[in-house]
Homo-oligomer: A and B are copies of this chain.
């Protein structure tokens, strides 16, 4: 029986290593597709349009909202971020597990609309390790880093709403762990409705001696 893919939402603290983790996952296993988000924020150095994000202006973003072209959207630090619908739906129907790296607000919007979405939250093994990683990136000022830590301190309250916590300590182990979690999640009853219905029908027939 051909099985649909899962929409896998990956969130986590800024500095938890989500980007690297997702890139490694895509390189190592071939059952994944990556959803590219749309945003109005400025392009950072080294980012490519259509690869890291679709970079658009506010007008274009609001048109896409109006056309129901986004699965979810949110604003964060004065900019819009959203998930184009069409790509995700096509990949899932072809059996791909679609990875979507978005923040907490968007993740919870998606889970509410599509309850069989898998929500994963990435964290380093400790708060100290988080601040070390933010400093090691060498891209933000100390004020920016403190703001990100304060944001993390708010986000930690939302972890309970996620299906799984992914502890990013050693990268290679974490990639395999993440993959196992996603494979296991295919076996949740909510994602096996067709098989359950099929077995139910067969048992009904045998019970009635058909």
Contact = CB atoms under 8 A, between A and B. Distances in A.
Q: How many copies does the complex hold?
A: 2
Q: Mostly helix, strand, loop or mixed at chain A's interface?
A: helix
B205 A187 contact: no
Contacts of A201: 127
Contact of A189 (B125, B165, B180, B195): B165
Q: How large is the interface on A (under 10, 10 to 19, 20 to 34, 35 or more residues)?
A: 35 or more
Interface stretch (A27-35, A79-87, A105-113, A151-159): A151-159
Contacts of A187: 164-167, 177, 181
Contact of A203 (B152, B195, B203, B206): B152
Interface string A75-98: 000000000000000000000000
Contacts of A198: 126-127
A141 interface: no
Given A130-B203, A203-B156, A184 B180 contact: yes
B196 A156 contact: yes
